[in-house]
Amino acid sequence: MPAKIIYFDKVFPAFKRLLEDHNCLNLELLYWYEMSELEREAALTQADYFLVATQKITKEMMKRASKLNLVQKTGMGVDNIDLAGAKELGIPVCNTPGGNASGVAELTIGMIINLYRKLNVLDRSTKGGQWLMWEYRPESYEMNGKVHGFIGFGNIGRETARRSKVFGTEIIYYDKIRLDEEKEKQLGATYMELLEVFKNADIISIHLPLLPETRGLIGEKELARIKPTGVLINVSRGNIVDEQALATALSNETMAGAGIDVWSSEPVLKDNPLLDFDNVIATPHIGAGTRDTLDKVLSLAFGNFALIEEGDKPKFVLNDVQ
C-alpha cells in the first residue's frame, strides 16, 4: 500500500493537478477539506505525512496520527504548527527555506511601486471616467534615491534588498542576528537598531517570523518615527504589527501608506479599519502565491517524502527531531 499524505489546506482543480505532478512516488493524497468528520478521523489514523500551508496543526491531531513520519510545511513560517508538541511526539517538522523568497520579494517591490505611484487609486479613477493626469504628481515618488529599511533580514529580506537596490535605493536593516561584515558589504546593507531604521527609512518592509518576541513588535512607538512620506509593507505575519496603531497613524496622516498582505485575523475581518484607506493596498496573504513558488516548495516537500521513503532523513528539520 502506498504511503498516505494528508493535504490540509483548501485546494482547487489546478492546484490538485500540480500536487499530482509533483507526486513522483505515487503516494496517496488525501484532501482534508473534502472529507467528512468521520473520514478525517480515519485519515489521521492512516496518514504517514502531513502537508500543510496555513491550516493549524495541533499536538492532538499529530497524536491521533499514530503512523505520522513528518509534518511538512510549504513555506517558511511555522507558527500554525505546534513545534513543541511535535518534538514531544518525536515527529520532525520541516519547512522549505528559500522556496518562497522570490515571490515575496517581488510582491514587496510591487506594493512599494503601487503606493509610490498611486496605481490602485489611478486605476479606479481612470476606469470611473476621471483623467487625473496631473493631480497626483506632487505626491508620487520613485524608489531611486530612497532609503529602504528592512525589519528582518533573512532569505526573503535579502532577496528583496537585492531587487530594491536595482531601483537605486540605499539599504538599512534590523535583525536579531546581525550579518557578518563581509555579507553586509556584498549586499551594500547597513545595520541599525529597530527605532533607527524607522527614523531613517523612506520605505519599511517587514520580513520576520511570528515568534513570542516578534508579536506586537511594531506598534505606536515605532510607527511614530516613520516619515510623513514613508510607507510600510508587511508581508511576514499580521500580528507583528499593531493594526490599530497603524490605522491611527494613517488616519493622522503621519505616514503616506501601507501594503498589507498578512493580517491579525485571516481571512481579514470586514470591520478591520485598514480596509477603509485608499492608501492601503490589501491582499489576502498571497506573498508566495505564484506557480513558480508552488513548484519550488512542492519539489522540496515531496523531496523530503522521498528521502523518508528511501530510509533517509528529511532536510530542513526545525524541531530537532531526527
Written as one string, the DSSP assignment of 221-244 is HHHTTS-TT-EEEE-S-GGGB-HH
From 163, 237, 291, 309, active-site residue: 237
How many residues in total does the chain contain? 322
What are the two backbone dihedrals, phi and then psi, of residue 259, each rounded to the nearest 5 degrees?
A: -115, 120
From 148, 207, 225, 285, active-site residue: 285
On whether the CB atoms of residues 179 and 125 are closer than 8 A, the answer is no
On whether the CB atoms of residues 160 and 207 are closer than 8 A, the answer is yes
Taking the CA atoms of 161, 207, 231 and 54 in sequence, report the sign of the dihedral they define: positive
Residue 137: active-site member: no
Expressed in angstroms, the distance from the first to the final Cα of the chain is 25
Residue 237: active-site member: yes
Residue 285: active-site member: yes
Residue whose cell numbers read 553586509: 184
The beta-strand segments (E) located in the chain are: 4-7, 28-31, 49-52, 70-73, 93-94, 147-151, 170-174, 189-191, 203-206, 231-234, 257-260, 280-282
On whether the CB atoms of residues 262 and 285 are closer than 8 A, the answer is yes
From 17, 142, 266, 291, active-site residue: 266
* Catalytic residue positions, numbered: 237, 266, 285
